[in-house]
Structure 1
Amino acid sequence: MGGEIVLWMLGLLVVLIMLGTHIGLALALCSGLGVWLMLGQLDIALSVLGNTAYEAVRKDIFAVIPLFVLMGDIISRSGAAGDLYRLCDRGLRRLPGRLAIATIAGNTIFAAVTGVSIAAAAAFSRIAYPEMKRAGYKQTFSVGVVAGSACLGMLIPPSILLIVWAVLTELSVGALFIAGIVPGIMLALMFTAYVIIAAWWRPEIAPAFSAPLVELTRSESRSELIGGLGILGLIFLVIGGLWFGLFTPTEAAGFGALGALLIGFLKGMRGHEILNAIFQAGRTTAPILFLLITAQMYSRLLALGGAVNYIQGLFMGIGLEPWMVIALMMVIWIILGMLIDSVSIILLTVPIFAPMAMAMGYDPIAFAIFGILVIEAGLLTPPFGILVYTVKGALPDKTVTLGAIFKGSTPYFMLILVAGLLVLLMPELATWLPKVML
């Protein structure tokens, strides 16, 4: 009976979301109704869900999210992302398609201090695209590399998605952070290889050697070094502290926020701008934390109803092989990626998918990295790829169409799926580093 109630509540949840109900409110309503139907008494159901929400809020890991969001927002507002891009551009000047490669390199490093793909997409739409346009890059190619490489923000630590996944599955945040490093670098190298091959094969889309570098004044060079090298130092502080066991994830987030504040101050940020960054971090964090609280209630509903075993039994009952189940998960994630944001996708699916994957023998850490990759690929798919709309909204060139961005990002979509399958088939790509370092 419990499994059937869970299925009815899942159906109601999908209907509410399709009708435009806020995902957190839909989760709370379906969880409350489902637990009430299972237990038969409203006061007991409210007590169970209230305790669940209270225990969720008490977890100190929740402090990681606002601190990392604040760190990324300060870095983004300080102009350090532009400094980083220009440093990458100067270091890669002998490569064909150097501006596109600099965009990928900049996103790879910028991802390690923001953890949010949308922030990277918005930043590099304003920074990288105008430079590529000025150098004669084809429009579709330029916007595609901006949208595609922004996906690195959700894989390379500190990723907000990895934190949310860890909270839901009770995995170590530090282990997931370290696990994302090798696949993240691998994906960045795959993107870079594609750009080099494309620029060599079709020189008209990306001039082999772009416009000459502009000489900077001493003060401009100093500011660029502070921003670019400051980000590199911040990465070493946060990831290195976790790597060598100096910090817990929460402590790393705190030191990261302080380091970002120092960089922002050196870059000229003062009281009003810093306060705006703090307020924006709060506006970004509050909905995520509310979603996490309601997701814990949703997980309690699934646990009380035995949903995982029930749904797994349904799949096995119709003769699905493990690879078929994984393929079905991928299809669901990609379809959801067309409609809703990454955090909501994780909240809806991971409480069901992660235990099923473990029951089928997949490593939980490797499956987490695989899942993040597939979910991020969904953000590039038409008709409602959120990253594509972010790039479109942030671009200074309003002649760029959504179709051009979708077309340009298709190769990156395919490469992300390939990387995800490689991690699933060779879990050592994700698990080796955490075993060695933690």
Structure 2
Amino acid sequence: MGGDIVLWMLGLLVLLILLGTHIGVALAICSGIGVWLMLGALEPAISILGNTAYEAVRKDVFAVIPLFVLMGEFISKSGAAGDLYRVCDRTMKRLPGRLAIATITGNTIFAAVTGVSIASAAAFSRIAYPEMMKVGYKQTFALGAVAGSACLGMLIPPSVLLIVWAILTEQSVGALFIAGIIPGIVLALLFIAYVIIAAVRSPDVAPPFDGDLVKLTPEEVRSEVIGSFGIIFLIFLVIGGIWTGWFNPTQAAGFGALGALLIAVIKGLGWRELYQAVLQAGRTTAPIMFLLITASMYSRLLGIGGAVNFIQGLFAQAGLDPWQVIALMVVIWLIMGMLIDSVSIILLTVPIFSPIAASIGIDPIAFAIFGILVIEAGLLTPPFGLLVYTVRGAVPDKTATLGKIFIGSTPYFVLILVAAFIVLFMPWLATALPAALL
């Protein structure tokens, strides 16, 4: 009976989402109705879900998300992303497609202090895109480099998606952070290889470097040194602190936010900008926290109804091979990526998919990285493509249409899926560092 109710509630959940109901509200409604129907009484259902929400909020790990988001906001508003991009540009001036490679490299490093792809997309849309267009890059190629490389923010730690995944599956946030490093670097190298090959085969998409770089004033040199080395310092502080065991993820987030505040103040950020950074961090964090609370209620519904065992039984009755189960998950994730955002996809699917993956012998850490990569690809999938819309809104060019951004980001979409299956077939890429360091 419980399994049947869960299926009915899943159907209601999908219906509510299609009707435009906020995902958090839909999760709360379905959880409440489902537990009520299972228990046959309203008061115990309200009590169970209330306690579930209360226990979810009390977890220390919930402090990680707002602190890392705040760290990213301080760095973003300080202009450090621009400093980092210009340093990468000068370092790679002789490589084919140097500005696109600088964008990818800058995003890889910048992702390690933001944890949110949208922040990277917005920053590099204003910084990198105008520079690429100024020297004659093909528009779709430039737009694709900005949108595609911003996806690295969801994999390179600290990643909000990794934190949400860890909370839902009760895995170690630190272990998932460390697990994302090698796959993140692999993905960045795949992006860079694509840019170099495309630039060599078709020089018109990315004109070669011509001339000398502009000489910097002492003030500009100082700004770039503070910004770029400040970001690298934060990476060592946060990730290094977790590696060495000096900090747990919550403490690392706190020190990271404090270090980012220090860099922002040194860079000359005023009280108004600091206030705006705190306000924006709150605006970004509050919806995620609400979703996590309602997702905990949804997980309780699945637990009471024995949903995982019920759905595993359905898979067993269907006689699906493990690779068919994984293929079905990928298809579901990509279809959902066309309609809703990544956090919502994780909240809806991971409580069901993660135990099923474990039951067919897939390492939980490797599956987490695989899942994040596939869901990450959904950020570039039409018609939703959250990153595509972010780039469209941030790029200072009215001719940069959604269609052009989708076309330019298609190779990156494919490469993300390639990286996902590399991790699936070579799980040690995700598991080696956590096993050695934690």
Query: Partners of 2:207 and 2:126 in 1: how far apart?
Result: 20
Query: Partners of 1:435 and 1:226 in 2: how far apart?
Result: 34
Task: Tell me what 1:74 maps to.
Answer: 74
Query: Partners of 2:281 and 2:378 in 1: how far apart?
Result: 25
What is the CA distance between 1:210 and its match in structure 2? 4.7
Once the two structures are overlaid, the 10-residue window that deviates more, 30-39 or 220-229, is 220-229
Question: What runs of 5+ residues in structure 1 fail to find an aligned partner?
Answer: none
Task: Tell me what 1:415 maps to.
Answer: 415
CA deviation map 1:134-187 (0-9, x unaligned): 011000100001000000000000000000000000000000000000000000
Query: Partners of 1:287 and 1:384 in 2: how far apart?
Result: 19
Task: Tell me what 2:123 maps to.
Answer: 123
- The 5 Å alignment of 1:129-140 reads 129-140=129-140
Query: Partners of 1:379 and 1:275 in 2: how far apart?
Result: 29
Query: Partners of 1:133 and 1:229 in 2: how far apart?
Result: 27
What is the CA distance between 1:316 and its match in structure 2? 1.6
Task: Tell me what 1:204 maps to.
Answer: 204
One-letter code of the match for 2:77?
Answer: R
What is the CA distance between 1:211 and its match in structure 2? 5.3
User: Normalising by structure 1, what TM-score?
Assistant: 0.99
Are 1:427 and 2:432 an aligned pair? no
Task: Tell me what 1:95 maps to.
Answer: 95
Task: Tell me what 1:16 maps to.
Answer: 16
What is the CA distance between 1:118 and its match in structure 2? 0.8
Runs of 4+ in 1 over 3 A off after TM superposition: none
Query: Partners of 2:86 and 2:360 in 1: how far apart?
Result: 47
Task: Tell me what 2:266 maps to.
Answer: 266
SS at structure 1 position matched to 2:214: coil
What is the CA distance between 1:221 and its match in structure 2? 0.7
SS at structure 2 position matched to 1:85: helix
Task: Tell me what 1:298 maps to.
Answer: 298
- The 5 Å alignment of 1:32-71 reads 32-71=32-71
What is the CA distance between 1:312 and its match in structure 2? 1.2
Task: Tell me what 1:2 maps to.
Answer: 2
Are 1:313 and 2:313 an aligned pair? yes
Query: Partners of 2:150 and 2:293 in 1: how far apart?
Result: 28
CA deviation map 1:104-143 (0-9, x unaligned): 0000000000000111111101000000000110001000
CA contact (8 A) 1:135 1:210 kept: no
What is the CA distance between 1:197 and its match in structure 2? 0.6
CA contact (8 A) 1:227 1:267 kept: yes
Task: Tell me what 2:84 maps to.
Answer: 84
Task: Tell me what 2:218 maps to.
Answer: 218
Query: Partners of 2:357 and 2:208 in 1: how far apart?
Result: 45
Query: Partners of 2:318 and 2:373 in 1: how far apart?
Result: 28
CA deviation map 1:286-311 (0-9, x unaligned): 11111000000000000011111111
Query: Partners of 1:206 and 1:139 in 2: how far apart?
Result: 10
What is the CA distance between 1:207 and its match in structure 2? 1.0
Query: Partners of 1:278 and 1:415 in 2: how far apart?
Result: 35
One-letter code of the match for 2:150?
Answer: A
Task: Tell me what 1:236 maps to.
Answer: 236
Task: Tell me what 1:379 maps to.
Answer: 379
One-letter code of the match for 1:20?
Answer: G
Query: Partners of 1:283 and 1:395 in 2: how far apart?
Result: 22
Query: Partners of 2:211 and 2:29 in 1: how far apart?
Result: 57
Q: Work out the percentage of aligned pairs sharing the same amino acid.
A: 76
Query: Partners of 2:142 and 2:256 in 1: how far apart?
Result: 31
Task: Tell me what 1:109 maps to.
Answer: 109
One-letter code of the match for 1:43?
Answer: E
Query: Partners of 1:347 and 1:210 in 2: how far apart?
Result: 49
Query: Partners of 2:26 and 2:337 in 1: how far apart?
Result: 18
Query: Partners of 1:293 and 1:128 in 2: how far apart?
Result: 37
CA contact (8 A) 1:338 1:386 kept: no
What is the RMSD of the two structures over their aligned residues, measured on CA atoms? 0.7
SS at structure 2 position matched to 1:320: coil
Query: Partners of 2:377 and 2:295 in 1: how far apart?
Result: 23
SS at structure 1 position matched to 2:269: coil
CA contact (8 A) 1:97 1:210 kept: no
Query: Partners of 1:112 and 1:400 in 2: how far apart?
Result: 28
CA contact (8 A) 1:53 1:297 kept: yes
Q: Matched residue pairs, number?
A: 438
Query: Partners of 1:173 and 1:385 in 2: how far apart?
Result: 26
Task: Tell me what 1:278 maps to.
Answer: 278
CA deviation map 1:230-274 (0-9, x unaligned): 101111110110111110000000000010001100111121211
SS at structure 1 position matched to 2:100: helix
Query: Partners of 1:96 and 1:426 in 2: how far apart?
Result: 30
CA contact (8 A) 1:98 1:210 kept: no
Query: Partners of 2:268 and 2:353 in 1: how far apart?
Result: 46
CA contact (8 A) 1:334 1:375 kept: yes
Query: Partners of 1:46 and 1:381 in 2: how far apart?
Result: 38
One-letter code of the match for 1:382?
Answer: P
One-letter code of the match for 2:119?
Answer: A
SS at structure 2 position matched to 1:73: helix
Task: Tell me what 2:390 maps to.
Answer: 390
Task: Tell me what 1:344 maps to.
Answer: 344
Query: Partners of 1:194 and 1:248 in 2: how far apart?
Result: 37
User: Normalising by structure 2, what TM-score?
Assistant: 0.99
Query: Partners of 2:409 and 2:280 in 1: how far apart?
Result: 29
What is the CA distance between 1:212 and its match in structure 2? 3.2
SS at structure 2 position matched to 1:196: helix
Query: Partners of 2:21 and 2:292 in 1: how far apart?
Result: 17
